[in-house]
Amino acid sequence: MARRIQIILLIVIVLAGVRLFFIYRGRHAAAPAPKTVANPNFSADDYVVPTQLHAYDLKSAKDGLDGKPVWVKAGYQLYYYPDIAGRIDFKHPVGLLPPLEKLEVENVIETATPGAKAEEVAPNVRIRQQQVMATFRLPNDPTVYAAPIGVSKGGDYTLYINDSFFFEDPHQLYKHWPPEVWSAIDHHEAKPGMNELQTSFALGIGISQGAGGDYGNRTLQYDNNGHPVRVTFEHNRATSVVQPQG
């Protein structure tokens, strides 16, 4: 009887030891690495962070732009004008700056547009809105031009420089895009398979058509400098590229 009790106690002790071993191992084992699941809503484009210019008045705009190259972000949105001996010819715009056009900025100035009227802001105090203009040259063109980058009124500035320009070459910012995409962009063409950003680089700003839709899942019409193109996107890929008739 005593031997039987000894055997039972021995079994209990062994089982308790085994249980303690597994508890110890479980508490000291390395935690399993979390599974990394790619977010289908993100692409390499989302990790590109273009430089921003923190300009708030004429001096800071000049400091950020004078003597530097920029590339047009707001394609076919900015009129540009001849700058003849320091006078901007607002009456004869050259046209609209195409997307990604490289500009060599020479100066940032303030000037009043023809016919701009002074506004009375206090008794005997009148101020006139001024255009903030960047003067620049285009590649292989000796002519000096000017384009608006904001307005000022009584010392208050509204600048849209960051909405208008890239400060680094987009070909380098988005160098992960394949050569055929860049070839289409450089020729201002939209091709099936291009995403919305790539298409805007080729054709400029698009306007949503019909009931609209979410980014990457909608139809946009691009004026394309007077040559309209309508592009339908699904899952942020162009599925239809057509030139509307009429």
Give every residue of the chain whose pLDDT is below 70, as ranges.
1-42, 117-126, 246
pTM for the full predicted model? 0.79
pLDDT (0 to 100) of residue 25? 60
Specify the 3-state DSSP secondary structure of 199: helix
DSSP string of 80-118? EEEEETTEE-TTS--EEPPTT-EEEEEEEEEEPPTTPPP
CB 219 within 8 A of CB 209: yes
pLDDT tens for 8-31 read 544 545 455 545 555 556 565 555
pLDDT (0 to 100) of residue 147? 98
Domain boundaries, the chain: 50-166, 174-242
pLDDT (0 to 100) of residue 42? 67
pLDDT (0 to 100) of residue 80? 98
